[in-house]
Amino acid sequence: MMVRPLLLAALVLPTILAAQSRIGLDASIDVSTTTLIRQVSTERTFTGPVIGGAALIGLGRFELDGRYQQGSLTPEAGLTTDPEDLVDLSVHLNYRIRPWVRVGAGPRLRAFIAPAGTVRWTRVEVRTRMEGSVIPGMIAAHAELWFAPMVETNVQGGGSSARGGNVGLSLRLPRAPLDLRLSYGADRAEYASGGSEFLDEISIAIVLRRQ
Amino acid sequence: MTLRAWTRLAFLLLLLVPTILRSQGEDPLARALAAYRDLDYDAAATRFRAALGATGSGRLNDADRTRALMHLGATELFRGRRDSAGDAFRTLLLADPRYRPDDLVFPPEVSAAFHEVRLGVRAIAVVVPADIELRTVSDRVPIRIYASALHEIRVFVVGTDAVRVTDVLHDGAVGDSLEVLWSARDSVGRAHPAGRYSLRVVSRGPNGREEREVRIPLDVDRFTVDTLSAPPPLEPSQLRPEMTTPVRTTRPLLIGIVTAATAAFLPSVAGAESGGSSLRFGVAGLAGIAGVVGTMTSARPRAIPENIESNRVARAAWEQEVQRIERENAARRAAPRLRVRAGRATVTEPR
């Protein structure tokens, strides 16, 4: 239900904003296969596809990017637990220190929605991202790491810590302002009670560059 | 020279200067006009005719001649000689078809007699610029024609052979005045050859018979206009490099290894004791391969699409400018400038 508006926004927003002069813009849509490993007394694993979209507006050295993901994760065979819906929203303000490195910070809201209840995570992340050309004009690589100095959750006595990262390759499509991006992401958050949630994903994205 | 001689010379000058000045400002029609004003019309007629018949240095200029003829006509009218008056007015109108008597100077019966004669005289005056340059195809020589009275005229230009009619500019009635235009070009805009042409304006009577013709020689000169020079060819410094300078570097390999290592160990970096999708090793492998390929190809010159496109636009703009100048020069060569100089008008009356 949410996918269509998301796709529409991802396609229309770049056009509107690109009309503004001197404003850089990236927009992307992605699909990923996501795995959630939750360790609270026992280990339970969920997998499923997640669809998302992201947009980045740059003005000078500053950038504002936002990302939204949503998907349904089903428990591995043999588990009696219910499937869970994943919703993840993050907004970051970045500063580009060099053309190939930037730092940023911002909030992330994440929820695992199940019939028995919803697990909500609220955290503030600090991150750094590096980019470089591997095959000039054709393939670029990026690596991103983050940690959360502030983590809150509504279960297991609250949150303790969280950190993660994302790494991938972007193939620049010839004669089109498009990149095809393959990336891997991993994120681990710990409960104050000692348990943890580990989320990793392999995703493919189409990125529209209007810079 | 002695003082006495100087005194004689000064005295002589004092005597001569008033005589010289009086002779320069003297009206050649003064005596005739005095007799006219004294109502001594016999004497006035004799004196006006004498003035009109003067030759050599005493010959009247055009303005005085016009004045003399008008007053002679009025004088003859007052003497009761309408035929002689008509002859004077007719002669005046043939010399100056645009002339009209001043109603403040001449009484109404004189003006009425003049206009009565004017309506029967078919004469025209033609005014053409003495020297005019036709720079473009749309430029024209303005030819202004003044008529003494409404009548039929034919205006045409005869070619350099003095026989063939090159252009017919007007064939119809003229009232008070008329302006016609001559392009000195043919119907498709090609300039006439240089040479002497003749503008002819023929006045025709009610029966269509040619009564009078005014001819003005028109000397046409052609001269080519300067053409534009082609833009200088694009200098290499005006173009961007289209290929990269080949420099062997291990930077792509380093980036590929760092990316591969990050992908492989990211779960551990995130703090996971185990797990993580094995597909991450695929990402790591691709990053490593890309790094190796990037290092190997870094020594090869690589096309820079942005610069190639920029240079293409620059070359296209240069070629467009060259074509524009070629078109402009072709147009200038096809339409040379013309200079038209008009000569003195002559009047003939076919018998």
pLDDT digits (tens, 9 = 90+) for A52-78: 999 999 988 999 999 999 999 999 877
**B290 Cα to chain A: minimum distance (Å):** 6
DSSP string, chain A: --HHHHHHHHHHHHHHHHTSTT-EEEEEEEEEEEEEEEEESEEEEEEEEEEEEEEEEEETTEEEEEEEEEEEEEEPTT--SPPEEEEEEEEEEEEEEETTEEEEEEEEEEEEEETTEEEEEEEEEEEEEEEEEEETTTEEEEEEEEEEEEEEESSTTSEEEEEEEEEEEEEEPTTSSEEEEEEEEEEEEEETTS-EEEEEEEEEEEEEE--
Q: What is the pLDDT of residue B57?
A: 85
Mutation to test the A interface, candidates B283, B289, B312, most A Cβ within 10 Å = B283
Tens digit of pLDDT for each residue in A81-128?
Answer: 788 999 999 999 999 999 899 999 999 999 999 988 899 999 999 999
Q: What is the pLDDT of residue B11?
A: 64
Q: What is the pLDDT of residue B22?
A: 47
Average pLDDT for B313-336: 88
Taking the Cβ of residue B276 and every Cβ of chain A, the question of whether any pair is shorter than 8 Å is answered with yes
State percent of chain B over pLDDT 70. Answer: 93
Q: What is the pLDDT of residue A24?
A: 82
Which of A16-25, A30-39, A119-128 has the weakest average pLDDT? Answer: A16-25
pTM for the model: 0.51
Measure CB to CB from residue A37 to each of B269, B275, B287 and give the nearest one. Answer: B275
Average pLDDT for A153-175: 90
Residues of A in contact with B264 (CB under 8 A): none
Measure CB to CB from residue B302 to each of A136, A142, A167 and give the nearest one. Answer: A136
Which chain B residue lies closest to A135 (C-alpha atoms)?
Answer: B294
Q: Is the predicted pLDDT of residue A21 greater than 60, yes or no?
A: no
